[in-house]
Structure formats: C-alpha cells, structure tokens
C-alpha cells in the first residue's frame, strides 16, 4: 500500500473535470488538476518515494506502462491520462548534458534552430512524412476496455502547426523562407495540417477521449514567433479545423502555447474557438489576470509559474496556490497546475505542495 504526502483524499470524476475545461464550468465538489505532462524523472521519484507501484505485475511491458500511468495519476489526484497518435518526425537535434538534480539519462535534446531536415524543395520531396493511418493505436484500444470508469482520456500530443514548421525547417530558415520561398512554407503547412487533422479524426473516434489538447508553442516573452499575419496564414487555420473536428464530436479543444499571444488572442477565441488556454508565465500574464481578461470566453488551465516553483519555499508555494484558486475558482473554468509542465528541475516537494494545497482547497 502506497504512503501518501497528501492530507486530503480525492476520487477521480472525469465528468466534473471536463466541465472545468470550458469557460464558466464549475466542478462538482473540488479543485481539479491538469498538466501537459510530468517528466519521467519526476514520476519515478514519486513512485519510488511512496511505493506507488508496489505489487504491480510487471510481466507484460505494454500493459504495465498503461497500468503504471493510471495508478500514478490516481495517486496524484488526476481524472485522466494522456494518449496521442504516435508519429515519427525525423529532425535535426543536439544533445546536451542535463544539469537537473533528477537528471535525465542521456541528457536533453534540442531541435536545431538554424536548419532542419527541410530547407528546400528537394528535401521537402524526399522527407519521410508520417502516415497516421499506420500509427500504433493499441493504447487507445486498451484504454477503451481497461481505463477505470471514473477516468477519461485526453487526446494530445497533436496540433503542432507552428512548431513543426520551426522544427522541420529550423527557426532561422523558417524566418528567411517566409520571404524567400513562401510557397515552400505553404506546402509544408498544408502537409502538417493534413497529418495533424488526421490524428484528431482518429482520436475522436474513441469515446473514452473526452477532450483534444493541441500543443503548439507560438510565442516568446514579447510576441509571436512569426508575425501575427503569418501565424494566421500558416498555423491558426490548422487549429481552427482541429477545434471544429473536436467540437463536432462534442469535445472541448484545449490549447497549450507558450509565449505572449496577445496579438492573436482574439483569433484564438473568435475564429479558432479554443475552449481553454494552457501555459502561463508571470512575466507575461499570470493566470488570475488572464482569468479577469478572458475568463468569460476561455477557460484557464494551470498557471503556477515554473520558475516560481523552482525557487520558492513550501509556505510561499501554498500561499500562491491559495491566492490563485481564490481568484480563479469563483469564475469557473479553471484547473490547477503548473504554468507549463512538471519538469525534472522542479523540486519534487515543491510540486507535491502545489498539488496538496489544491486538494485542501474548500469550494
């Protein structure tokens, strides 16, 4: 039996959780939590410390990984697990040492900013574009049968309409190509949209998938990565179609995007029709300010700044979480979580303090 760092027990309730993924949606009786992902190193540290996986049958690796994910997320108080259509996108990467305390074996990898695998038409025609029709869907199929009834799937790891342009061309090459070879950029955007939208169509066929989560970093601290007009031309149309497919299937469309998106926020709300926004930094816009500004038209997901979590003590973290919940929960359409993801350089105790304070919060 696992020990616990939490003062309050919670039971998954996916229906209450999904209500909070839309503007104004109110939970049944507690705060719901959400994360884009937890780094594996954080997961393993928690599992080892609290015996989360004790007694599990490790005989069949595929089944064990699915059951591991379910048991850990129930332990932490989440109402869902993520599942995406696995695709292989060959890219140019650089490997560097991981200096986090819970360092990643083999280091971290970063996409080359200068030049990716597609910088001209010849490389475009030779690129091995992935085929979603050939993707391994065993995780979806397994969860259809075995996911506990009080949990759901979030269909994710999709919607990279802008990111894939920057990854496949290299950010510098993309910036020059917007002027030098816009026809190539458009052809790539069309291919990316075709593939990403096929993934959405696959995911909504599974009724355990209750939301689609697009993940597409489109900005930096002071603006969008490419001009707002270029973002509308090459990326937002893909998100609009993905949101339409999700809505036609009765699912909310969530967007994770880092950076300052102020110049395209009205597009995301009125044209794309994003239901909920994820990823916040205090230096850009804290979640409570976003809630005050856009909360009547878009739900707010997460928002406890990652840098703050890395640098602050437990008392400060608990105070900040309470203040955020007091500001956001009355509006509805809010789930608690980090501003980005549970990275392996966030201290485990800092993350757990955030989660525990959310579990303690009285509606």
Distance separating alpha carbons of residues 30 and 17, to the nearest angstrom: 9
Candidates 3.30.310.160, 3.40.30.10, 3.20.20.210, 3.90.228.20; CATH matching 14-360: 3.20.20.210
Confidence band for 192, pLDDT divided at 50, 70 and 90 = very high
- What's the confidence (pLDDT) of residue 307? 98
pTM score > 0.95 for this model?
A: yes
- What's the confidence (pLDDT) of residue 342? 98
**pLDDT > 70? residue 320:** yes
Confidence band for 1, pLDDT divided at 50, 70 and 90 = low
**pLDDT > 90? residue 2:** no
- What's the confidence (pLDDT) of residue 27? 97
Residue pLDDT, tens place only, 163-184: 999 999 999 999 999 999 999 9
Residue pLDDT, tens place only, 19-62: 999 999 999 999 999 999 999 999 999 999 999 999 999 999 99
Residue pLDDT, tens place only, 76-98: 999 999 999 999 999 999 999 99
Residue 90 has phi, psi (to 5 degrees) of: -60, 130
- What's the confidence (pLDDT) of residue 72? 98
Distance separating alpha carbons of residues 117 and 91, to the nearest angstrom: 6
Distance separating alpha carbons of residues 31 and 363, to the nearest angstrom: 8
- What's the confidence (pLDDT) of residue 106? 85
Confidence band for 105, pLDDT divided at 50, 70 and 90 = confident
**What is the domain partition of the chain in residue ranges?**
14-360
Residue pLDDT, tens place only, 236-271: 999 999 999 999 999 999 999 999 999 999 999 999
Which residues, at least 6 apart from 89, have a Cβ–Cβ distance to it below 8 Å? 130, 164, 167, 168
Residue pLDDT, tens place only, 121-167: 999 999 999 999 999 999 999 999 999 999 999 999 999 999 999 99
Cβ 278 vs Cβ 254: under 8 Å? yes
């Amino acid at each position: 039996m696992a020990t616990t760092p939490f003062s309050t027990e919670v039971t998954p309730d996916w229906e209450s959780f999904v209500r909070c993924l839309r503007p104004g949606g109110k939970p049944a009786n507690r705060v719901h939590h959400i994360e884009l992902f937890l780094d594996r190193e954080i997961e393993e540290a928690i599992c080892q410390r609290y015996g989360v996986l004790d007694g599990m049958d490790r005989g069949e690796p595929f089944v064990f990984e699915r059951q591991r994910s379910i048991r850990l997320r129930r332990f932490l108080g989440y109402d869902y697990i993520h599942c995406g259509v696995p695709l292989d996108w060959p890219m140019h990467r650089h490997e560097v040492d991981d200096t986090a305390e819970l360092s990643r074996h083999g280091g971290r990898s970063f996409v080359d900013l200068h030049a990716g695998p597609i910088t001209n038409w010849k490389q475009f025609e030779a690129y091995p574009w992935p085929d979603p029709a050939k993707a391994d869907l065993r995780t979806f199929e397994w969860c259809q049968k075995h996911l506990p009834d009080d949990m759901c799937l979030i269909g994710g790891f999709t919607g990279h309409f802008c990111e894939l342009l920057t990854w496949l061309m290299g950010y510098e090459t993309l910036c020059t190509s917007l002027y030098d070879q816009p026809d190539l950029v458009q052809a790539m955007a069309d291919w990316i949209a075709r593939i990403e939208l096929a993934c959405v169509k696959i995911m909504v066929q599974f009724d355990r998938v209750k939301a689609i989560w697009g993940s597409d970093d489109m900005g930096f601290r002071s603006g969008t990565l490419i001009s707002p007009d270029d973002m509308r031309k090459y990326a937002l149309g893909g998100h609009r179609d993905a949101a339409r497919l999700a809505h036609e299937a009765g699912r909310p469309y969530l967007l994770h995007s880092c950076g300052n998106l102020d110049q395209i926020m009205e597009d995301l709300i009125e044209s794309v029709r994003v239901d909920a926004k994820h990823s916040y930094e205090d230096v850009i816009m804290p979640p409570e300010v976003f809630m005050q500004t856009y909360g009547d038209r878009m739900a707010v997901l997460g928002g406890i700044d990652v840098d703050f979590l890395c640098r602050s003590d437990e008392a400060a973290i608990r105070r900040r979480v309470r203040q955020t919940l007091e500001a956001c929960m009355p509006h509805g359409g809010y789930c608690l979580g980090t501003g980005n993801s549970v990275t392996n350089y966030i201290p485990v105790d800092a993350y757990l303090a955030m989660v525990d304070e959310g579990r303690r919060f009285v509606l």
